[in-house]
Homo-oligomer: A and B are copies of this chain.
Amino acid sequence: MDIQEYMQQVGKNAKASAKVLARAPTATKNRVLLSTAEILEQSQSELLAANAKDLEEGQQIGLDSAMLDRLALNPDRISLMCEGLRQMATLPDPIGQITDLAYRPSGIQVGRMRVPLGVIGIIYESRPNVTADAAGLCLKSGNASILRGGSESLRSNQAIAICIQKGLAMANLPTTAVQIVETTDRAAVGELLRMSQYVDVLIPRGGKSLVERVSKEAKMPVIKHLHGICHLYIDESANLEKAIRVALNAKTQRYGACNTLETLLIAEIIAPKILPDLARMYLEKGVELRGCPMTRALLTSLPIVDATPEDWDTEYLAPILSIRLVADLDAAMEHISTHGSAHTDAICTEDWNKARRFLTEVDSSSVMVNASTRFSDGFEYGLGAEIGISTDKFHARGPVGLEGLTSQKFVVLGDGHIRT
């Protein structure tokens, strides 16, 4: 197989079907989502068989148990995938929405119409459910998609793609509106990164090294999510009961998520009142605590690890928390600005002015007052779905839903108007 030729063909197919998809009626797009869900359910045995082969090969090549778990499909996970597609069908169609249509002094009416971006490339790792999820979001937002999953999940992804393509065919849409890259040759990724004539935006979903490679080499715009070093600052004005609840939830509700708390900052003056209890609760839940010297001095009776400078810059994605006492709000914001990743940062405070300053001055994609960082998520925010979280500022910031996969053009309505 000539990889370059193959990928060029994939790109051409995508570009051509993007034109059709851009003007597909809402009802047609919803029909594809709903029939795909049905076909996926009917194809459960095929999906599980394909997945079993992927899992078998995964074991042979020595994937660890976490990777094998992410790779595995089962009836529950297939149901969730279908549930996701059905939910997308209920979301409002962003395409064609006209906003701000208003008369100008010249007599013309000017407004903005939401349009698809065109072709979206998604590069992701083992979870096969991303195939249905990403394809559905791209489809609903009127975009063609090229999906490049992990090579360990190729057979599962192929089986899912067949269902999606059946759904497209049933609605008379081109089956190339959703294509998966049907080769495990890594050269295909390099090719994808260079095909800016066909691919309008790339979304890498996976580990930091994947995201860094894509950002560096891609010749088209990238919606990227590098990492989440999330902070909670407990101010001296905090309500202690709320602060403990939020701090525990932000760290322990799920350890491996990008919106999980990694560093807890506490105002020095309030630390003796809150930290001993809070630390014990974390330790009881099995969280390893790494503290600054002041933290350790305060908690001499507890097993607190000495935090190194690297700790402040580390996304643990694990039951580990770094803790630092700071003088005040300014010191906390300084720490966040220096060590944060502009993902999600929160403050616990009952002080109006401090809340207002934190919201305004902390330059992260999500800033929160008295709420757990774990809320930073497309579903929780009401976007209906999420293709990823952007820690960039350009185009999209924070959780990216359907709207992040669109653009707006200007529409001008006149009656023979000319410029003078």
Contacts and interface: CB of A to CB of B under 8 A. Distances in A.
Interface of A: 19, 22-23, 96, 102, 104, 106, 108, 110, 113, 115, 117-118, 200-201, 221, 239, 241-243, 245-246, 248-250, 253, 337, 346, 348, 359-361, 363-372, 374-376, 380-382, 393-395, 397-399, 407-420
Contacts of A110: 375, 380-382
A399 B250 CA distance: 42
Contacts of A418: 245-246, 248-250, 253, 371-372, 374
Nearest to A350: B415
B410 A380 contact: no
21 contacts: A104-B380, A117-B393, A117-B394, A200-B393, A221-B394, A221-B395, A239-B416, A245-B416, A245-B418, A249-B418, A249-B419, A253-B419, A346-B412, A366-B410, A367-B410, A368-B412, A371-B412, A371-B413, A371-B418, A376-B410, A394-B394
Contact of A200 (B113, B239, B394, B397): B394
Contacts of A22: 361, 363
If over half of A's interface residues share one DSSP class (helix, strand or loop), that class is named, otherwise mixed; here it is mixed
Number of copies: 2
A158 B410 CA distance: 36
A415 to B, nearest CB: 5
Nearest to A370: B414
B108 A242 contact: no
A284 to B, nearest CB: 17
Given A104-B381, A110-B381, A380-B419, A412 B361 contact: no
B104 A382 contact: yes
A371 to B, nearest CB: 3
B394 A398 contact: no
B374 A241 contact: no
Contacts of A249: 418-419
Nearest to A407: B393
A410 B360 CA distance: 11
A394 to B, nearest CB: 4
A227 B96 CA distance: 25
Contacts of A413: 368-371
Contacts of A414: 246, 368-372, 375
A223 to B, nearest CB: 9
A239 B410 CA distance: 23
A60 to B, nearest CB: 38
B410 A246 contact: no
A371 B117 contact: no
Nearest to A108: B371
A374 to B, nearest CB: 4
B113 A242 contact: no
A248 B419 CA distance: 11
A363 B102 CA distance: 21
A127 to B, nearest CB: 21
A181 to B, nearest CB: 22
B118 A393 contact: yes
A113 B395 CA distance: 14
